[in-house]
Structure 1
């Protein structure tokens, strides 16, 4: 059958042929696979992502953190508030620029890092994904993200 008959991917309105739906389903499945691992750490997936950035970069501004996570400030602030209430991060105004808020991991947050080190490897083992496959998928997804961002920018 041709695209005109509804089975091709170009212009199709069939759910299973939508790239966006495949990405959505994969994202939900991966997040669900992380859930039991992160539950043991007392974290949600978005909180885990915040900590990954802080563990990698050290003290950073809320603005830089939001940019790294590709989230807006309004989404990051509640995450930080909950992480701060749990004693994992500290927020304070920058002495150099009072408009800027600095975020850093506390000692408790650093100790949690040691417990979290097994999460990526455990997830890969449970999904059966190997290093080369993960690298290929990651590269393709980053390329797609860049192309989709460029397309979104063109339509604004």
Structure 2
């Protein structure tokens, strides 16, 4: 899929729960973005970052950006090509219902990547090329700047 849909989530006792992000979910885009948010925008406050990405935007995202103070509402018609702001499905010109995604409901036919944000870093799981299953997760520490996961993707 050209849009590379993904899930951004927090860990739970059984797996994870999070929100869909429809666009730009490939690790080459998403990992640097999440590292920037964690280190710069949220200054290592993972709870605040998760609150913004998951709790404050229950319908999920069309796209996420690197500046959480930027307008988060949906713009109708679609945002201009190249726009890199936060665009959720629950504010602005849209008001979609809550969409919680878990390890049970995640679908490798639709979701290409799962990013579980943990205190030590990000667990990244990819769908197999045919979308039939999930590959073994990789771990990217908050301190490693992206590490081998970007190169391997």
TM-score normalised to the size of structure 2? 0.27
User: Which structure: greater helix fraction?
Assistant: 1
TM-score normalised to the size of structure 1? 0.27
Larger radius of gyration: 1
User: Which structure: greater strand fraction?
Assistant: 2
